[in-house]
Amino acid sequence: MSNTLSILTFLPLLGALLVALIPARQALLLRAAGIVTALAALAFSLVLAVQYDRAAGSLQYVEQFAWIPSLHIEYYLAADGLSLLLLVLTGIVTLFALLALGARSTKLGVSLILVLETTLFGTFTALNFIHWFLFYELSLVPAFFLIRMGGSAKATAAATQFFIYTLFAGFAMLLGFLAIHQATATFNLTDLAALAHNEKLGHALSDAFPGLATHINLLVFGGIFLGLAVKVPVVPFHTWLPDAYTEAPAPVSMLLTGLLSKMGVYGFLRLLFPLFPGLMRHLAWPLFGFALVTIIYAALAALAQKDLKRIVAYSSINHLGYCLLGLFAASAVLPGVGGADPAAAMNGVLLQIFNHGLTAAALFCFIGFIELRSGGLRGLNDFGGLRDAAPVLAGLMGIALFSSLGLPGLNGFPGEFLIFKGTFALAAWPAALAAIGLFVTAVFLLTLIERVFTGPLDSRWLTFPDLTAGERFTVAPAIALMFIVGICPQILIALFNQTVLHLLR
């Protein structure tokens, strides 16, 4: 029994308190404190990932204490390859966002981001539902205030919509788990997964609600699905997302898309899939329908957007659709069936989680840089020929865009390759239809490059400054990672391959 995960979880909170104690006029010190904390958290998560016993792939660094025994609530933390992937991603994107915040760092902003990091760390390690749910919902509070920092009346409206929508969906999930608790007298997720594995969970639910015997499983599943679907988001539960991503300041959009959306996917992997494998298999086709609609609809909607942030927002929805596609394909077959294909799809999903987090965050970061220079303008047709004035910005953002497009050699490709490889073998039609999304993504991303960076240089932007040294330093690690993961994805897969096999068992 250790307490490393607790230390990791509360390290950013400590940093946030520290930042709160620093006088507001010490801007540089505030920034430094925030960045040092984020660096320490990232280093810590990396150490945990390196020391993790990959060959076992099991839950490690376990901390388990009774919290409210009468209600079966425990303080229960542990990490496996999936958790560690997300911990490292959280460390990276938080640091990235703090660096991108740059001169706009305020006391409130920095401390809220650090608080958010704590809630994320908590979510990605907690294994008792109530403990998990606490962090999951708590993340809304810093996120709400961070979105409002966008300043406009629309930002406030977007933040409110985001908060209420996800909170409401959370309740649906909570209800589901209360029903499960009623039936099993536990919130412990590993115990519940073991019950589900032996097909006892469904029976327990039916027995506990005799009046609803036939529907209770579906109801509980639906509640949890809804809660997570809003968070990911799955079309048609996505409308909060474009507004929130667009109205929030760019560094906050980085956190929203890079990390908060991953809480939803993580929930699918950690809650829904282990607890309802039979139902997911049973409902495979409707679920494929959700994934496909998410992929194609979001890509087409992105095609019609005129605001750079909205384009990337819809593109985000589209990319998360691939995660769901792979997960649903892996869950569509009985354990042990399908050879290496479910593992391929699942490994692809985990890679895609990381890659989307990195790439989408980088794209919002670049849009933030453009906004800084254009006085807030970010329309698709507001620019033109920027590559002439700002070649480094154009080149680096071009790399990020092509990573998002899934160009081989960059990080987007291996994840999508594995997802499609596994999905095609398990369910050929959904995979073939999802390829439409890949094509449409190329259309809108290349249109973005064409309108913003090529053509004659717009006379308004003759003095458009290129990236400063600080900005280059901010994005350089992300760009380097895109190449590293793209060329050698094995460094990530090695971390979670065995965990994937555990999940699929």
- Using the rule CB under 8 A, is 380 a contact of another protein? no
Question: Helix or strand or coil: residue 74?
Answer: strand
- Using the rule CB under 8 A, is 234 a contact of another protein? no
Phi, psi of 427 (to 5 degrees): -150, 95
Q: How far apart are CA 150 and CA 162, in angstroms?
A: 14
Which residues lie below 8 Å from residue 302, measured CB to CB, with a gap of 6+?
310, 311, 314, 315, 318, 440, 441, 444
- Using the rule CB under 8 A, is 236 a contact of another protein? yes
Give the position of tokens 């460390």: 91
Question: Helix or strand or coil: residue 271?
Answer: helix
- Using the rule CB under 8 A, is 407 a contact of another protein? yes
- Using the rule CB under 8 A, is 447 a contact of another protein? yes
Q: Indicate the DSSP class of residue 457.
A: P
Q: Which 315-344 residues touch another protein, going by CB under 8 A?
A: 339-344
Would you say 256 or 396 has its CB closer to another protein?
Answer: 396
- Using the rule CB under 8 A, is 269 a contact of another protein? no
Would you say 74 or 341 has its CB closer to another protein?
Answer: 341
In the bound complex, what is the minimum distance in angstroms from residue 501's beta carbon to another protein? 6
Phi, psi of 73 (to 5 degrees): -95, 130
Question: Helix or strand or coil: residue 409?
Answer: coil
Q: Which 416-445 residues touch another protein, going by CB under 8 A?
A: 417-418, 420-421, 424-425, 428, 431-432, 435-436, 438-440, 442-443
- Using the rule CB under 8 A, is 166 a contact of another protein? no
Q: Which amino acid is at 309?
A: K
Would you say 56 or 68 has its CB closer to another protein?
Answer: 56
In the bound complex, what is the minimum distance in angstroms from residue 127's beta carbon to another protein? 24
Count of residues that interact with another protein, criterion CB under 8 A: 65
- Using the rule CB under 8 A, is 268 a contact of another protein? no
**Distance of alpha carbon 106 from the chain centroid:** 25
Q: Are 101 and 149 in contact (CB under 8 A)?
A: no
- Using the rule CB under 8 A, is 156 a contact of another protein? no
Neighbouring-strand partners of residue 79 = 60
Q: How far apart are CA 417 and CA 152, in angstroms?
A: 41
Output the CA torsion 280→138→252→482 (10° steps): -50
Q: How far apart are CA 230 and CA 171, in angstroms?
A: 12
Q: How far, CA to CA in Å, does 225 sit from each of 125, 164, 169, 217, 443?
A: 20, 17, 9, 12, 31
- Using the rule CB under 8 A, is 383 a contact of another protein? no
- Using the rule CB under 8 A, is 102 a contact of another protein? no
- Using the rule CB under 8 A, is 500 a contact of another protein? yes
In the bound complex, what is the minimum distance in angstroms from residue 471's beta carbon to another protein? 17
Contact pattern from residue 290 through residue 319 relative to another protein, giving x for each residue in contact according to CB under 8 A and a dash for the rest: -------x--xxxxxx--------------
Closest CA to 204 of 176, 182, 173, 225: 182
In the bound complex, what is the minimum distance in angstroms from residue 502's beta carbon to another protein? 12
Neighbouring-strand partners of residue 379 = 307
Give the position of tokens 């997720």: 189
In the bound complex, what is the minimum distance in angstroms from residue 242's beta carbon to another protein? 8
Number of neighbouring beta carbons within 10 Å of residue 176: 25
Q: Which 345-364 residues touch another protein, going by CB under 8 A?
A: 347-348
- Using the rule CB under 8 A, is 289 a contact of another protein? no
Binder of another protein out of 24, 36, 167, 494 (CB under 8 A): 494
Q: How far apart are CA 390 and CA 367, in angstroms?
A: 13
In the bound complex, what is the minimum distance in angstroms from residue 454's beta carbon to another protein? 4
Binder of another protein out of 18, 377, 454, 458 (CB under 8 A): 454
Would you say 64 or 454 has its CB closer to another protein?
Answer: 454
In the bound complex, what is the minimum distance in angstroms from residue 340's beta carbon to another protein? 4
Query: E strand or H helix at 73, and its extent?
Result: strand 73-79
Q: Indicate the DSSP class of residue 283.
A: T
- Using the rule CB under 8 A, is 414 a contact of another protein? yes
- Using the rule CB under 8 A, is 32 a contact of another protein? no
Give the position of tokens 């690690």: 477
Binder of another protein out of 319, 489, 495, 499 (CB under 8 A): 489
- Residues that bind another protein in the complex, under the rule CB under 8 A: 161, 165, 235-236, 238-240, 297, 300-305, 339-344, 347-348, 385, 387-388, 391, 395, 402, 407-409, 413-414, 417-418, 420-421, 424-425, 428, 431-432, 435-436, 438-440, 442-443, 446-447, 449-450, 453-457, 489-490, 493-494, 497, 500-501
